[in-house]
Amino acid sequence: MITASFSAMLSLMYVMGGLHSDRLDRSILFWKSLPVPDWLTVLSKLFYPLLYGPVSVILVCLLLFFVKSMAFLILTQQLSPAQIASVLFNPKIWQDFTRIFVMLPLYILFALPSVSWMLMMSALCKSRVFPWAVGVPFLFEFVVLISDAVEKLGWNTFEFTYQIFVRGICSLIPGSWYFAANVTRKNTTVPGFTLENTYQQALIEYVSPGLWIGVLCSFIMIAIAVRQRRYADVI
């Protein structure tokens, strides 16, 4: 979990600089001289946070598990071909990692709004990206909370906060989609998450309207980033 969270933080920093840093160091002039369309350049920035990063974390965790298992066998003086085979060919281990890979498409779809928002801000901002990408949602949230408290509008500020921060900024954090299931479906029974009910959880999320609304908003933000990239120049 710590490794996955660290990878998510790196992914956010990478996306925030994806369409901004090359304008600062003027390398955008080189990239624009290549016969590569702008939409392909923008989509390439999605590869690391949505696919390369998560897959790398899963494979690293698998490798560390086997290293830890071998170290345990060596320290307990139980290292033998039979014990090594029992670790390497244990069906429970491979079933668990297969279930984790099954959740990968769901993770990509759920994290897409956060990545798209950061990428859009990276394309729009001419100064530092982080204060705009994170500060604008915080300011918007502050205005809504103050308006609701002063005017007593009766808004569901918790739901609004969830949409702004969990879906808009923090959806790259592993497991945040399960938190979404508990927030958005209070009147239905959401089974507790275990690797054994992975397929049931995935099916519940795939039919959730909120998931696909977030994907639709992501497409709009990506389109804005592509258009901005087309007319971008050095800063």
pLDDT over 50 at 187, yes or no: no
pLDDT over 60 at 189, yes or no: no
- Most confident by average pLDDT, 62-76, 120-134, 158-172, 193-207: 120-134
Q: Write out the two tokens for 51.
A: 């696919």
Q: Write out the two tokens for 116.
A: 């798209």
pLDDT over 80 at 18, yes or no: no
pLDDT band for position 216 (cuts 50, 70, 90): very high
Contacts of 217 (CB under 8 A, 6+ apart): 113, 116
What average pLDDT does this structure show over 145-172?
72
Dihedrals phi, psi of 35, to nearest 5 degrees:
-80, 55
Q: Which of 109-113, 163-167, 199-203 has the lowest mean pLDDT?
A: 199-203
What average pLDDT does this structure show over 191-212?
67
Predicted pLDDT at 39: 86
pLDDT band for position 219 (cuts 50, 70, 90): very high
What average pLDDT does this structure show over 27-54?
84
The mean pLDDT value of the chain amounts to 77
**How far is Cα 151 from Cα 156, in angstroms, rounded to an integer?**
14
Dihedrals phi, psi of 199, to nearest 5 degrees:
-65, -35
Torsion over CA: 221, 19, 46, 134 (sign): negative
Q: Which of 27-36, 172-181, 189-198 has the lowest mean pLDDT?
A: 189-198
What average pLDDT does this structure show over 36-51?
86
Q: Please answer whether residues 124 and 228 qualify as being in contact, where contact means their C-beta atoms are separated by less than 8 angstroms.
A: yes
**How far is Cα 112 from Cα 131, in angstroms, rounded to an integer?**
20
pTM of the model: 0.77
**How far is Cα 61 from Cα 50, in angstroms, rounded to an integer?**
17
pLDDT over 80 at 144, yes or no: no
Q: Which of 59-68, 76-85, 176-185, 208-217 has the lowest mean pLDDT?
A: 176-185
